[in-house]
């Protein structure tokens, strides 16, 4: 995936978190490196909603074994995870 496509994906994820999970509040402070778990942006329910968005809107299913903190610490890492899972097997 090109840098442009990666940037698009990141922007899409930021938009979802800002508009849907934060209801537009504190949107200006949300950056690709905002610590999502540490700051409570992602709790268990919001994590599930993010996963639903990734599945339904981006077409990537995150397997349970990937559900660890490192992959969700910020949106840069979430983007990397989605890109990794988009890679064709083999």
Partner 1 sequence: MEFGWNTEQRARYATTLAGVRAAFPLDRERDERPFTREDWLRLGKLGVLGASVPERFGGGGLGALDTARVIEAVGEGCSSTGLVFAAAAHQFACARPILDFAEPAVQERLLPGICSGALIAGNAMTEADAGSDVSRLAVTATPTDGGYVLDGTKSFVSNGPVADVYVTYATTDAKAAHLGLTGFVVDRDAPGVVAGPPFEKTGLLGCPAGTVSFDGCFVPDSQVLGAPGLGSTVFQTSMAWERACLFALYLGVQQRLLDACTDHVRRRRQFQRRLSEFQAVSHRLAEMKLRLESGRLLLYRACWELDREVGGDDGEYGGDDREYDGDVRNDSREDDREYGGDVRDDSREDDRDGSGGDDRHDQDEGREDGVLWAALSKLAVSEGVLETAMDAVRLFGARGYLREDGIEAALRDAVPGTLFSGTSDIQREIIARELGL
Binding site for partner 1 (CB under 8 A): 35, 37-38, 40, 42-49, 51-52, 55-56, 61-65, 67-70, 72-73
Q: Identify which of residues 7 and 55 has a Cβ nearer to partner 1 in the complex.
A: 55
Q: What are phi and psi of 31, to 5 degrees?
A: -125, 170
Q: Identify which of residues 6 and 71 has a Cβ nearer to partner 1 in the complex.
A: 71
Q: Which residue reads 């969700």 in tokens?
A: 72
In whole angstroms, what is the distance from residue 65 CA to residue 47 CA? 15
Q: Identify which of residues 38 and 84 has a Cβ nearer to partner 1 in the complex.
A: 38
User: Smallest distance, Å, CB 23 to partner 1?
Assistant: 14
In whole angstroms, what is the distance from residue 64 CA to residue 10 CA? 22
Our CA angle for 77, 83, 88, nearest 5°, is 150
Q: Identify which of residues 5 and 70 has a Cβ nearer to partner 1 in the complex.
A: 70
User: Smallest distance, Å, CB 40 to partner 1?
Assistant: 7
User: Smallest distance, Å, CB 62 to partner 1?
Assistant: 7
Q: What is the SS3 assignment for 69?
A: helix
């Amino acid at each position: 995936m090109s840098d442009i496509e990666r940037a698009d994906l990141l922007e899409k994820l930021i938009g979802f978190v800002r508009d849907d999970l934060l209801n537009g509040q504190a949107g200006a402070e949300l950056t690709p490196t905002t610590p999502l778990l540490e700051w409570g942006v992602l709790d268990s329910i919001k994590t599930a909603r993010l996963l639903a968005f990734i599945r339904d809107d981006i077409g990537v299913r995150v397997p349970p074994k990937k559900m660890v903190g490192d992959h969700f610490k910020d949106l840069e890492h979430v983007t990397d995870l989605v890109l990794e899972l988009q890679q064709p097997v083999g």
